[in-house]
Amino acid sequence: MLPGLSACGGPAREQESKGPGYDELASMIGRERADILWYASFAPSSHNVQPWTVTIKGPDNWVIGSAEDRWLTEIDPKNHEMLLSIGAFLENLVTAARAYGFQMKVRSVAGNPFYHELVALQFQSGERVEYPLQRLLERRTMRTGFRSEDIDPADFSFLVGREDGFHYYPRASTQAVWLGEATVAATEQQVTRENVQEELSRWIRWSDADARKYRNGLTPDTMDITGLAGWYVRNFYGEGDVLGKDFRRATIERAKQQVAESGGWIVLTSEDDRINSLIETGRRFERMFLKAKDRSIGIHPMSQVLQEKLWSERAAQALMLEKSPQLLLRVGYVRDYPSPVSLRMPLDEITKVKERRLL
Ligand SMILES: Cc1cc2nc3c(=O)[nH]c(=O)nc-3n(C[C@H](O)[C@H](O)[C@H](O)COP(=O)(O)O)c2cc1C
């Protein structure tokens, strides 16, 4: 090991300091509202692109939108995953707001998924609702360490409550076996698509310097490339390596290893493909995800099947579902639940304050 280089991991989250931009934002909109935004920012998103923007038109009038330069046009050409991520962000935001004693009026303002403004929010005072906000900070995507044991029905019901659209397939079920095989086959197909690999390469932050600079995208830590291998790629890998044969082969191998360990799959469907339905599905997804750690259940979205046309067309039939599957989640009890490792952009980079004079 070279002196000064650590093998143990890349840059950590800044959960204590709340990051650059927080103090200035808090001086304009107050600490409570700044905190609500900060909590919201820990939502999950495809490739960790964090597609959300927040325009603060007045202290009580915000608009959630999405930034075009954070759209994944190759794997998500219809912006459906983007809307699911926005839904997760909205869920975090509304949950944090309730805990601070605000009720949120939520109104969709988008005509199609490519509008830059998506959801208008209005703060109203309400009852403070007790909620362990720590859950928002501790939620994380798990990719390794799943035990091969079915999810207990009581735990599944704890996760989803009375919410619609969640389907659990135990690991030996026909559907779970199909999902595992289809995920590997879809991955094999996906790594041959040049544009997809190029898009991915733009969202991997191999070096610690890039991870710190962008604070979004995937890092070796989030891809579970740790230890000496992590140190090696953090110091010697770059964008071009994602386009090489070795990386493509390793991607397929990783998918095979991942699907081999699981306690089954949870599939989440939506009513239809309309904007409101997708945002609402993202909210349901996040509500479930936030409870998973309480029962030591790891959640790993694996979207390859839905991203590859050939496989997505077969999915609803193979899974015998009447409605469209929107999220395919490999799930399982995990031995450890380490702290999250994915980074978040500073609040001042996702927020635009329209009229400083009003605040
Ligand atoms: C709609 C959606 C699709 C996702 N698809 C995948 C996927 O196919 N493979 C994967 O490893 N992670 C997937 N993720 C997880 C993200 O990579 C993860 O949320 C992001 O890196 C931030 O990490 P965190 O969830 O630990 O905060 C997906 C997340 C969302 C919201």
pLDDT in tens, 257-305: 999 999 999 999 999 999 999 999 999 999 999 999 999 999 999 999 9
Question: At how many degrees (to 10) do helices 31-40 and 80-99 cross?
Answer: 140
Q: Which amino acid is at 164?
A: D
Nearest CA to ligand 1 atom 28: 46
Judge if 262 and 209 occupy the same domain.
yes
Q: Which domain holds residue 251?
A: 153-333
Q: Is the pLDDT of residue 196 over 90?
A: yes
Q: CB of 56 within 8 A of CB of 29?
A: yes
CA distance 54 to 56: 6
Q: Which amino acid is at 225?
A: I
Domains contained in the chain, number: 2
Judge if 111 and 235 occupy the same domain.
no
CA distance 201 to 205: 8
Runs of H (alpha helix) within 161-274: 174-190, 194-202, 208-214, 227-236, 245-260
Task: Determine, yes or no, domain membership for 147.
Answer: no
Judge if 193 and 316 occupy the same domain.
yes
CB atoms within 10 A of CB 1: 8
The band of 224, judged by pLDDT with boundaries at 50, 70 and 90, is: confident
Judge if 114 and 195 occupy the same domain.
no
- Which residues does ligand 1 sit against, CB inside 6 Å? 44-48, 81, 84-85, 88, 140-141, 143, 222, 301-303, 340, 342
Judge if 157 and 288 occupy the same domain.
yes
Judge if 191 and 312 occupy the same domain.
yes
pLDDT at 12: 81
Judge if 134 and 165 occupy the same domain.
no
Q: Is the pLDDT of residue 356 over 70?
A: no
In the reported structure, the alpha carbon of residue 270 is separated from the centroid of ligand 1 by a whole-number distance in angstroms of 18
Task: Determine, yes or no, domain membership for 144.
Answer: no
Which of 39, 41, 46 has the most ligand 1 atoms within 8 A of CB, as the residue to mutate?
46
pLDDT at 19: 83
Judge if 172 and 292 occupy the same domain.
yes
In the reported structure, the alpha carbon of residue 115 is separated from the centroid of ligand 1 by a whole-number distance in angstroms of 23
Nearest CA to ligand 1 atom 19: 44
SS3 of 17, please? coil
Judge if 184 and 225 occupy the same domain.
yes
273-310 exposure pattern, b = at least 16 Cβ within 10 A, e = fewer: eebbbbbbbbbbbbbbbbbbbeeebbbbbbbbbbbbee
∠ at Cα 88 (34, 217), nearest 5°?
A: 85
Task: Determine, yes or no, domain membership for 10.
Answer: no
Residues in the chain: 359
Judge if 195 and 132 occupy the same domain.
no
Task: Determine, yes or no, domain membership for 101.
Answer: yes
